[in-house]
């Protein structure tokens, strides 16, 4: 217990100090041509059980750090340290780690507690400055080891970048099975790294499309596509499994997205073939019209401060991105490039809007500033679509569909992530075809 507090105090001291004089830092706003070499020896444990937990946690931690693209996790087989003398509370022999060119060392320890929980203690060391960059310890049930590993990864990420991590998060997405003409589409949730996939809806007689996470609650909004009646927007409570149609409308409702405070859903409603953008207050269920235009207005997304909304419209003759005030006023076009610009998604940081661009038969995921400047394309393929932001606004997940072969096979969708610089494109493993990812906020 005493040791736990000692580490906590150190962590606080390190947090205060790090702002002023962090020696090793990663600037994640730049393209990281050279990932930081980092050594992550297995977290140690007092007995076999704790050691096994330590190995499991270290595996997930290394995988997270590696997948971020910011770190080069040095192969454990290269480590030449003395395992007997190594611990979270002993000062490491920095020379052992400099020899393998590690810049940073993560040391950790698992201690099983009498109440069945474990304590996970971690220190982050600057190998060249011979000093501690940060330390953290927390207690959690032993079977929660994956989340513990994600929390440690978030701590390492924050210690070295100065920004919140995104590893202790989940992703809701559409689980796709059966042929392309008759696809079954169900809601599924998994950890950010693809672990623990769990179906949320099963045996439905409708397809689930475009799920989106509430920024404040364990809640999802999505569109249900029915047979022979217009599709409608639903709310889904992840904890209780309760589903609820968000109002009954004559026309189709679609393209839902929560406001950043979680109190409203902005979406499209179709009436007599024309789609406009509306806002629904979830407490009163009052619906407010935001656009009134004879063209298609859809895919609304609200800025994190709640003041602006970006959306797709073809009012200018082709699909382009527009912004407006939260009450529908001040509508203006922000994209002017060739092709189509669609599915704007405002970054949680507010500084960028991610989008899907179609140009000359190819699809791109890109970002642009809300004033329409600074467009950058990050990915390209036959069909890339549906960007979603990591809660820290540094990584974008999207889905990619390959073309169907001549014999009609293939054409499956899969989930991918890319960082803001367009580097580090990675596929996220899913149980089957997967589309429409939506990234959760950091878990509480």
In the bound state with another protein, the residue whose beta carbon lies nearer, of 8 and 383, is 383
Interface with another protein, residue 315, by CB under 8 A: no
Q: How far is the CB of 235 from another protein (least distance, A)?
A: 18
284 touches another protein (CB under 8 A): no
3-class SS of residue 21: helix
Candidate ranges 55-63, 136-144, 294-302, 365-373; the one touching another protein (CB under 8 A) = 294-302
Q: By CB under 8 A, is residue 272 in contact with another protein?
A: yes
CB of 443 to another protein, least distance (A): 27
Q: In 3D, which of 329, 395, 336 has the Cα closest to residue 365?
A: 395
Q: How far is the CB of 208 from another protein (least distance, A)?
A: 11
Tell me how far, at minimum, the Cβ of 145 lies from another protein, in Å.
37
Contact residue for another protein among 18, 64, 169, 298 (CB under 8 A): 298
436 binds another protein (CB under 8 A): yes
Taking contact as CB under 8 A, which single stretch among the options 18-26, 141-149, 405-413, 416-424 is the one that binds another protein? 405-413
Residue 63: its H or E element: helix 48-67
Q: In this structure, what token pair is assigned to residue 64?
A: 């997270």
Quick check: 278 and 258 in contact, CB under 8 A? no
Among positions 356, 424, 430, 440, the unique one binding another protein when judged by CB under 8 A: 356
Least spacing, CB of residue 226 vs another protein, in Å? 8
CB 142 within 8 A of CB 24: no
Is the Cβ–Cβ distance between 224 and 208 less than 8 Å? Answer: yes
Number of residues interacting with another protein: please give it, by CB under 8 A.
50
By C-alpha distance, which of 390, 15, 389 is closest to 167? 390
Residue 412: both structure tokens together: 């499956």
Task: Write down how long the chain is.
Answer: 444
Kindly write down the DSSP assignment for every residue of 205-233, as one continuous string. SSEEEEEEE-SSSSEEEEEEE-SSS--EE
Which tokens is 396 given? 């974008």
Q: Is 401 in the site for another protein (CB under 8 A)?
A: yes
Per-residue x/- marks for another protein, 77-116, CB under 8 A?
Answer: ----------------------------------------
Binding mask 251-270 for another protein (x = CB under 8 A): xx-xx------------x-x
> CB of residue 404 vs another protein: minimum separation in angstroms?
4
CB distance 127 to 81 below 8 Å: no
Measured CA to CA, the distance from residue 332 to residue 71 in angstroms comes to 41
Task: Among 179, 281, 338, 371, indicate the residue that binds another protein (CB under 8 A).
Answer: 179
Query: Which CB, 231 or 350, lies closer to another protein?
Result: 231
Q: Sign of the C-alpha dihedral, residues 213, 214, 218, 219?
A: negative
Q: Contacts from 136-144 at CB under 8 Å and sequence distance 24+?
A: 136/7, 136/8, 136/11, 137/4, 137/7, 137/8, 137/11, 139/4, 139/113, 141/116, 141/117, 142/53, 142/112, 142/116, 142/117, 142/118
Is residue 358 close enough to count as binding another protein by CB under 8 A?
yes
Tell me which residues touch another protein (CB under 8 A): 179-183, 185, 207, 209-210, 223, 225-226, 228-231, 251-252, 254-255, 268, 270, 272-275, 296, 298-299, 312, 314, 319, 340, 342-343, 356, 358, 361, 382-383, 385-386, 401, 403-406, 408, 411, 436
């Amino acid at each position: 217990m005493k040791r736990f507090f000692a580490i906590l105090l150190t962590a606080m001291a390190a947090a205060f100090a790090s702002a002023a004089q962090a020696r090793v830092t990663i600037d994640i706003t730049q393209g990281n041509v050279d990932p930081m070499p980092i050594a992550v020896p297995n977290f140690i444990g007092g007995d076999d059980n704790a050691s096994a937990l330590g190995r499991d946690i270290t595996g997930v931690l290394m995988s997270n750090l590696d997948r971020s693209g910011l770190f080069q996790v040095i192969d454990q087989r290269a480590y030449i340290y003395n395992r007997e003398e190594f611990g979270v509370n002993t000062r490491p022999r920095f020379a052992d780690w400099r020899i393998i060119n590690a810049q940073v060392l993560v040391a950790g320890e698992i201690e099983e507690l009498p109440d069945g929980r474990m304590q996970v203690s971690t220190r982050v060391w600057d190998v060249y400055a011979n000093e501690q960059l940060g330390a953290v310890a927390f207690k959690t049930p032993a079977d929660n080891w994956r989340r513990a590993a994600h929390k440690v990864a978030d701590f390492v990420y924050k210690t070295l970048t100065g920004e919140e991590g995104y590893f202790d998060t989940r992703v809701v997405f559409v689980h796709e099975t059966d042929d392309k003409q008759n696809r079954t589409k169900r809601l599924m949730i998994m950890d950010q790294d693809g672990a623990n996939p769990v179906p949320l809806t099963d045996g439905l007689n409708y397809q689930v499309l475009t799920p989106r996470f509430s920024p404040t609650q364990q809640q999802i909004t999505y569109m249900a596509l029915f047979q022979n009646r217009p599709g409608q927007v639903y709310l889904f409570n992840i904890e209780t499994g309760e589903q609820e149609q968000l109002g009954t409308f004559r026309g189709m409702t679609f393209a839902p997205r929560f406001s950043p405070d979680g109190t409203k859903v902005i979406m499209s409603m179709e009436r007599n073939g024309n789609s406009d953008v509306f806002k629904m207050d979830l407490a009163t269920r009052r619906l407010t019209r935001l656009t009134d235009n004879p063209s298609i207005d859809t895919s609304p997304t609200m800025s994190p401060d709640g003041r602006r909304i970006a959306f797709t419209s073809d009012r200018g003759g082709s699909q382009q991105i527009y912004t407006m005030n939260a009450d529908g006023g001040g509508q203006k076009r922000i994209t002017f490039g060739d092709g189509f610009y669609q599915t704007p998604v405002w970054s949680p940081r507010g500084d960028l809007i991610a989008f899907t661009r179609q140009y000359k038969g190819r699809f791109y995921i890109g970002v642009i500033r809300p004033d329409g400047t600074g467009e950058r394309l990050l990915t390209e393929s036959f069909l890339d679509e549906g960007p979603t932001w990591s809660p820290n606004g540094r990584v974008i997940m999207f889905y990619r569909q390959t073309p169907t072969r001549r014999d009609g096979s293939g054409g499956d969708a899969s989930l991918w992530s890319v960082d803001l610089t367009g580097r580090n494109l990675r596929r996220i493993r899913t149980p089957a075809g997967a589309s429409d990812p939506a990234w959760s906020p950091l878990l509480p």
